[in-house]
Structure formats: C-alpha cells, structure tokens
C-alpha cells in the first residue's frame, strides 16, 4: 500500500508524533533531539544554549491581531522562552511565490521587525528563495532561534511531577479561531483577534518569582489538550484538568459552539502552560495577573501521579505502563479522557 502524507501529519497531533517517531527520530535521533522539548538544549562547558526552529505556512498571511511575520518571530521566540532561555538571535528563511507583491513582503518584514524589537532578539541570518507561480501559496517563512539558558535552570516537558499545579496564562484558542474566521469561508461574520505575542515578559517574570517551575510550554498546534498530552507522555505522569477553570473568551466559546469545535484543540500563540509545585501556584498566579498578558491566568488542574490511569468510577489506578493520561472533569461534572488531537480540524494555522 502506498502511504501518503496527509494534512493531519502536520496537525501537531497524533499523526505528527507518529511521523516524527517513525521517520525523523528513527533516522536522525540523538540524545538532544530525543528530549523532544520545544527547543534543543546544547550543553557547553561554559553555559547552555537553546536552539529551535519552526516553519510558518499560515493561511491567510494577514489576520486580525497579526500576520505571518509576527507569527514567525513570536513562534520561535516563544519556544525559547518556554525552555527557560533568554532569546537572543533569529535566522529567517523566506520561500516566496513568483508574482508575490513586494509591498506585502515589506508589510511582513515590518511586522517581523516590530516583533523582534518587542522580543529583544536580532535577526542575524537570512535566506530568500523564489519558486514559480503555483509552487507555494504566497509566502512561507522559517525561523530558527538561539537563546542562552542561565546556569542551573532546568525546564522541560519531562519534568512534571505528581503534586504539580497546572496553570495557563490566559484564554485559549484565540489564534486558531482568529485564523479560521479570517479565511472568510464561513457563512457568518465575526472578528476575533489572535493572541500572537512574545512570551518573554511573562516567562521572565515567572522564572524570577518562581525559579522552581518544572515545565513551561506554549500550546500552539493541537491546542491546550495536545500539549497536556505531550507533557503527560514525556513526564510519564497523569493529570486531572478542570474544564470549568480553563479561561475561554466568550467570542471563542460562541464560535466553537456554532461550529462544533473544542477550544481546547485550537492553537494559542501567546499563552504558556506552567507546571510547578502546588504550594507555589498562588505566587505564580499573582505574578502572571500583574502583567497585562496574564490577567486571565488560572489554575486549571493538577498532576495526579506517575503513569496512572483514570478508570471511570473507580478513580485513579496504577497503570502498569509508562504513558500517562489526561482526564478532564467536565463542566457538567463528569470525567472523560482528554486525548491528543487526532485529525486536523483547521490546517495551516501557523
């Protein structure tokens, strides 16, 4: 049987993980890549560096709250921030479709400039390729980023521990909903602003206040639900999430109800999920809420134990295996597993 790449392989969900495991990790794997954090940690004799990359294929290129340029800077900066690194340098690679308006390229690069200034990073390397009409959809951008990790800091998706509180820094799903609406394919109107923003101020304040943070991650492709599952797997823990506590704006909530979408699977581009020892949760929450971008921060759940499974009415059970489960306590008061994104409801949101 001929196996073909599908849009779901780029969703950030189950199929993306399969592709990574079977193709990339199995062939290119090494101890650094195997850590599977948002940024690679390069250990050096003097200090540790962080290195990460993302390609951006968002459609449309311009949407309320941002554009592909802002996204390309913030996306990579944020991957460095959630690794606990201080973002410093970016590279930018452009793949442009022949016939693209130079004026729009100027607009995109203006956005990159602004986002780079906000993030405190310099673009120090670049590349431009042009492909024939039909060879790309306007413009794709890849950014790679380098940051420095202060000595002694260790933040990783594999560090979640039983007893950790789980915090999200703001409303979820706004970027995914904004991009979806901006495509104009819906039969109704609506305007939702993307949350695309550099996380640097938030993560910096958090790490100053609570250096004991175990995990930070930005819930981009696949949304909050997918990122929680990634952390559950990498840390081999299970967790209980309280649906009622998850901040969702009323606009995103309405759109999701209308379209039968779940905001927990819609991408954010300016939010961070934090795991830290429960006694520190209120301090972290206060720190976040003092910043404009963190006003809606909330504690949304807790890590229940190492590799446990929620077994319906019987509660948490020893799982006898290494991979943990994410369980959602629903607004209605029931419990259900909250799996990783399986299909691809909205392609090309980043």
Give whichever of 129 and 290 is closer to its own copies, judged by the CB atom.
129
Q: What is the spatial distance between Cα 138 and Cα 151, in angstroms, rounded to a whole number?
A: 42
Please, what is the minimum distance in Å from the beta carbon of residue 143 to its own copies? 8
Q: Which residues of 151-179 are buried (b: 16+ CB within 10 A; e: fewer)?
A: eeeebbbbbbeeebbbbbbbbbbbbbbbb
Neighbours of 310 (CB within 10 A): 23
63 forms part of the interface with its own copies (CB under 8 A): no
Tell me if 208 contacts its own copies by CB under 8 A.
Answer: no
- Please report, as residue ranges, which positions from 20 to 59 form the binding site for its own copies (by CB under 8 A): 20, 23-24, 27-28, 30, 32-33, 39-40, 42, 45-47, 49, 51-57
- Work out how close the CB of 264 gets to its own copies at its nearest, in angstroms, rounded to a whole number: 22
User: Is residue 113 classed exposed, middle or buried when 0-12, 13-18 and 19+ CB atoms within 10 A define those classes?
Assistant: middle
Check if the beta carbon of residue 124 is closer than 8 Å to that of residue 116.
Answer: no
Q: How far is CA 53 from CA 19, 72, 114, 216, 258, in A?
A: 17, 10, 20, 17, 35
**Of the candidates 48, 55, 131, the residue with the CA atom closest to the CA atom of residue 84:** 48
Assess contact for 81 and 203: CB atoms under 8 A: yes
* Closest CB 161 distance from its own copies, rounded Å: 25
Interaction of residue 112 with its own copies, rule CB under 8 A = yes
9 contributes a contact to its own copies by CB under 8 A: yes
CB of 4 to its own copies, least distance (A): 5
Rule CB under 8 A: is residue 287 a binding residue for its own copies? no
Distance CA(39)–CA(21), nearest Å, equals 17
In terms of CB distance, is 35 or 253 closer to its own copies? 35
Nearer to its own copies, 113 or 289 (CB): 113
Contact 310, 316 (CB under 8 A): yes
Cα-flanking dihedrals φ and ψ of residue 273, to 5°? -100, 135
Retrieve residue 112's tokens.
Answer: 């990159």
Q: Which structure tokens are listed for 75?
A: 């996306």
Q: Least distance in Å: CB of 350 to its own copies?
A: 8
Q: Is 71 in the site for its own copies (CB under 8 A)?
A: no
Q: How far is the CB of 202 from its own copies (least distance, A)?
A: 23
Q: In this chain, which of 13, 14, 16, 87 binds its own copies, going by CB under 8 A?
A: 16
How far apart are CB 283 and its own copies at their closest, in Å? 32
Q: Please, what is the minimum distance in Å from the beta carbon of residue 5 to its own copies?
A: 4
Give yes or no for residue 126 binding its own copies (CB under 8 A).
Answer: yes
Q: How many of the other CB atoms lie within 10 Å of CB of 43? A: 9
Footprint (CB under 8 A) of its own copies, residues 132-191: 132, 134-137, 140, 142, 144, 146
Helix (H, G, I), strand (E, B) or coil at 231: helix
Stretch that binds its own copies, among 122-130, 203-211, 235-243, 318-326 (CB under 8 A): 122-130
Measured from the Cβ of residue 190, the count of other Cβ atoms closer than 10 Å reads 15
Q: Quick one: 334 exposed, middle or buried, by C-beta within 10 A (0-12, 13-18, 19+)?
A: exposed
Fill in the per-residue mask, 74 to 103: x = in contact with its own copies (CB under 8 A), - = not in contact: --------------xx-xxxxxxxxxxxxx
42 vs 259, beta carbon nearer its own copies: 42
Nearer CB in complex with its own copies: 87/247: 87
Q: Which of 82, 86, 116, 256 binds its own copies (CB under 8 A)?
A: 116
Residue 119 engages its own copies in binding (rule: CB under 8 A): no
Beta strand pairing status for 139-149 and 86-97?
A: antiparallel
Residues near its own copies (CB under 8 A), total: 77
State which residue, 144 or 299, has the beta carbon closest to its own copies.
144
């Amino acid at each position: 049987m001929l196996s073909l790449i599908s849009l779901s392989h780029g969703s950030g969900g189950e199929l993306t993980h399969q592709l990574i495991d079977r193709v990339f990790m199995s062939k290119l794997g090494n101890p650094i890549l195997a850590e599977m954090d948002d940024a690679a940690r390069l250990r050096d004799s003097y200090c540790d560096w962080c290195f990460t990359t993302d390609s951006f294929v968002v459609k449309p290129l311009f949407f309320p709250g941002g554009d592909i340029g802002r996204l390309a800077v913030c996306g990579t900066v944020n991957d460095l921030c959630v690794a606990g690194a201080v973002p410093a340098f970016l590279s930018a690679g452009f793949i442009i479709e022949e016939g693209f308006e130079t004026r729009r390229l100027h607009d995109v690069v203006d956005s990159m400039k602004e986002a780079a200034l906000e993030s405190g990073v310099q673009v120090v390397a670049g590349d431009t390729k042009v492909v024939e009409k039909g060879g790309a959809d306007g413009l794709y951008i890849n950014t790679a980023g380098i940051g420095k990790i202060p000595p002694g800091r260790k933040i990783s998706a594999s560090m979640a521990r039983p007893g950790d509180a789980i915090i999200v820094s703001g409303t979820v799903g706004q970027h995914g909903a904004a991009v979806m609406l901006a495509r104009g394919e819906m039969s109704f109107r609506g305007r939702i602003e993307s949350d695309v923003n550099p996380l640097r101020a938030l993560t910096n304040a958090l790490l100053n206040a609570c250096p004991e943070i175990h995990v930070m991650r930005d819930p981009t492709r696949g949304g909050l639900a997918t990122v929680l599952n990634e952390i559950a797997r990498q840390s081999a823990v299970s967790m209980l999430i309280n649906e009622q506590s998850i901040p969702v704006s009323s606009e995103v909530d309405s759109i999701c109800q209308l379209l039968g979408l779940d905001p927990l699977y819609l991408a954010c581009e300016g939010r961070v999920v934090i795991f830290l020892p429960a006694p520190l949760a209120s301090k972290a929450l206060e720190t976040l809420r003092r910043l404009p971008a963190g006003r809606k921060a909330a504690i949304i759940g807790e890590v229940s134990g190492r590799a446990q499974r929620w077994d319906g009415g019987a509660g948490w059970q020893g799982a006898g295996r290494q991979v943990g489960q994410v369980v959602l306590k629903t607004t209605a008061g029931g419990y259900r597993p909250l799996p990783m994104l399986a299909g691809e409801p909205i392609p090309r949101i980043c």
